[in-house]
Amino acid sequence: MASALPPLALAIVAIGFPIVLTNPFFIALANQVFLNAAVAVSLSVLLGTTGQLSLGHAAFVALGAYGSALLAQHGVAVPASILIATILVGLLGWGLARLFLRLAGYYLAIATLGVGLVVAVVLRNEKEITGGIDGLTVEPLALWGADIYSEVVWYYILLAALTLIIAATLTLLKSPAGRALRALHDAETAAIALGVDTLRLKVQVFVYSAALAALMGALYAHYVGFISPNAASFHRSVEFVMMVVIGGIGSIAGAVLGALIITLLPVTLADFEQFETLVAGSILLATLIFLPEGLVRPVKRIWRRRVS
C-alpha cells in the first residue's frame, strides 16, 4: 500500500541514523529534535483540537526538568522522579485549566503566559533550591544499575519516547474521546448535545499536553545533565508554538517537521547570531501568510492526488 511507504522509510532512517552517522554532534542534534518534537506534538494536539494557545509550554518543560532533578537530588530514584514530576505538572495543568477554561476566548493563553513568567522568575531567584541563573547539575538516568551517558543510548530512549507519544496521540484521536476532541473546533455545540462533556475533555487534553511537556523536560534534564532557567523563557514557549504552526496546527507529522526546522535553524545560522530572531520570525510570518495550513497538509494533499 502506498500510504504505508513513507512511515516505513522513516522508521528505517530513524533506526539506522546513529549507525550510519556516528558523529556525536549529529546524534546530539537528533536528540534535541526528538525532545522538541514530542513537546510540539503535545502542543499541537492542544491547539488543534481546543484552539487554545499555550504560551507557557516551556514553563511546563522546565518544571518537569527541575522537578525531576530536585527529586533525584533528594534521593528519589531517577525513573521514579521523572514520573512524579510529570504527575505534579499534570496536576498544575489541571488546576489552571479548571480555572481558566470556563471562560470563552483566549484567557487560557494569558494564564499560561503568566505561569511562564512566574516560573521563570522563581527559577531565577530561588538560588538555594534551583541554583538561580547558574543552573543546576542533574543526576544521570540510571537503568539496571548503570548510569546512562551515551548519546546513542539516549538517541534510542528519546526516539522510543517520541514514537510512543505519537502512537498514543494518534490512537487517542481515533478513539471516541478523540473524535469528540476533533469535533470541538467547529461543532462544539453539537458535541455537547450528544453527551460530550466538552469542558472536561478540554481540561483533560490540557493536562495531557502539560504532562507530556513535563515528561520531555525531565528526560531532557537527565540527558543533558544540566538545566538553567532559560528553559522556561517566553522565547522558548514561542519556539514551541512556531514548531506547531510551521508544520500545521493539529498535524502530528507537522509538529515533528516544525521541531526539526526550528531546532536546526540556530545551528545553520551559527555564524549569524544577530539575525536569528529575524530569520525565525520571518519564517513564521511567511508560513502564516503564505501557508496558513502549515507545511505538511499541502504536501499530503499533493501526495494523495498523485497516488489516486
Partner 1 sequence: MDLAILQFLSSGITEGARYALAALGFTIIFNASGVINFAQGESIMLGGLISAILVQAGWSLPVAILAAVLCATLASILLQKISLRVLQRSGILTVIVLTVAFGMVVRGTVRAAAGTSTMTLPHFSSAQPLSLMGATILPQTLWVIVTALLVLAILGWFFECSRMGRAFMATASNAITAQLMGINTKMVLLLAFTISGIVGAVAGAVTAPITYTSFDAGVMVGLKAVIGAILGGMGSIPGAVVGGFLLGIAEALTAGYVSSAYKDAVSFLMVVLVFLVRPNGLFGRPAVERV
Partner 2 sequence: MSTVSPVSAQFSDTPFVALHAVCKSFGGPNVLDDISFVLKHRQVHSIIGPNGAGKTTLMNIISGLYRPTSGRVLLDGADIAGRKPSDLPSMGLSRTFQNLKISGSMTVLENVMLGRHRLLKNGFVRGLFGGPDARRAEMGARRVASDLLDFVGLNSDGERMPGELSYGALKRVEIARALASEPSLLLLDEPAAGLNPQETGEIKALIQALAGRGITVILVEHDMKLVMEVSDNVVVINYGRKIAEGPPEQVARNPRRHYRLPWNAGALTMQDVVDIIQSEHRSMHQISAVLELVCRDAGDDPDALNLTLVDAGLAYFAGFSREVHHPKEEGFVFAPLRGLSVETDRALDQLTTQHVEEAHQLEKLRQRVHEARDRTDRARVRDDLLEFLSCLGKHIQLEETAILPLVRSQLPDESRKAAYDAFLAHSDPLSADADRAFTELRHIVASMAPAPFGLGAREAALNTAVSEGTVLPLLALEGIDAFYGSRQSLHGITVEAASGRLVSIVGSNGAGKTTLLKTISGIHPTRKGRILFEGSDIARLPAWRRVALGIAHCPEGRQVFGTFTVEQNLQIGGFTQPTAGVAEAVEQMYALFPVLKEKRRQSAATLSGGQQQMLAIARSLMSRPKLLLLDEPSMGLAPLIVEEVFAIISRLRRQGLTILLVEQNAAEALPLSDQGYVLETGRIVLQGPGQELAGNEQVRQAYLGL
Which residues would be at the binding site for partner 2 (CB under 8 A)?
168-169, 171-172, 174-180, 182-183, 185-187, 189-198, 201, 204-205, 208
* Site track for partner 1 across 42-81, x = CB under 8 A: -----x---x-x----------------------------
| CA distance linking residue 88 with residue 69, whole number of Å | 13
Residue among 284, 295, 296, 297 that touches partner 1 (CB under 8 A): 284
Q: Judged by CB, which is closer to partner 2: 160, or 267?
A: 160
Q: Judged by CB, which is closer to partner 2: 170, or 265?
A: 170
Its sign, for the CA torsion 81, 108, 98, 197, is: negative
57: number of Cβ within 10 Å: 33
Residue 175's binding partner among partner 1, partner 2, none (Cβ under 5 to 8 angstroms by kind) is partner 2
Nearest to 138 by CA among 67, 80, 61, 221: 221
Burial class (CB in 10 A: 0-12, 13-18, 19+), 250: buried
Q: Judged by CB, which is closer to partner 1: 157, or 243?
A: 243
| CA distance linking residue 186 with residue 50, whole number of Å | 10
Residues 224-253 binding partner 1 (CB under 8 A) are: 234, 238, 241-242, 245, 249
Query: Amino acid letter at 141?
Result: L
* End-to-end alpha carbon distance in the chain: 12
* Site track for partner 1 across 79-118, x = CB under 8 A: --------------------xx-xxxxxx-xxx-xxx-xx
Query: Amino acid letter at 42?
Result: S
Residue 210's binding partner among partner 1, partner 2, none (Cβ under 5 to 8 angstroms by kind) is none
- 207 close to 97: Cβ distance less than 8 angstroms: yes
Residue 1's binding partner among partner 2, partner 1, none (Cβ under 5 to 8 angstroms by kind) is none
Q: Judged by CB, which is closer to partner 1: 37, or 47?
A: 47
- CA dist 40 to 128, 237, 243, 257, Å? 32, 10, 6, 10
Q: Judged by CB, which is closer to partner 1: 52, or 169?
A: 52
**Which residue, chain included where needed, has cell 476566548?**
105
User: Closest distance between partner 2 and the C-beta of residue 159, in Å?
Assistant: 19
- 238 close to 253: Cβ distance less than 8 angstroms: no
Residue 8's binding partner among partner 2, partner 1, none (Cβ under 5 to 8 angstroms by kind) is none
288: number of Cβ within 10 Å: 12
Number of residues that bind partner 1 (CB under 8 A): 45
Q: Judged by CB, which is closer to partner 1: 119, or 227?
A: 119
Three-class DSSP category at 142: strand
Residues 129-168 binding partner 1 (CB under 8 A) are: none
Nearest to 240 by CA among 223, 221, 256: 256
Residue 179's binding partner among partner 2, partner 1, none (Cβ under 5 to 8 angstroms by kind) is partner 2
Burial class (CB in 10 A: 0-12, 13-18, 19+), 38: buried
| CA distance linking residue 191 with residue 201, whole number of Å | 11
User: Closest distance between partner 1 and the C-beta of residue 12, in Å?
Assistant: 34
Q: Judged by CB, which is closer to partner 1: 31, or 130?
A: 130
Residue 28's binding partner among partner 1, partner 2, none (Cβ under 5 to 8 angstroms by kind) is none
Residue 122's binding partner among partner 1, partner 2, none (Cβ under 5 to 8 angstroms by kind) is partner 1
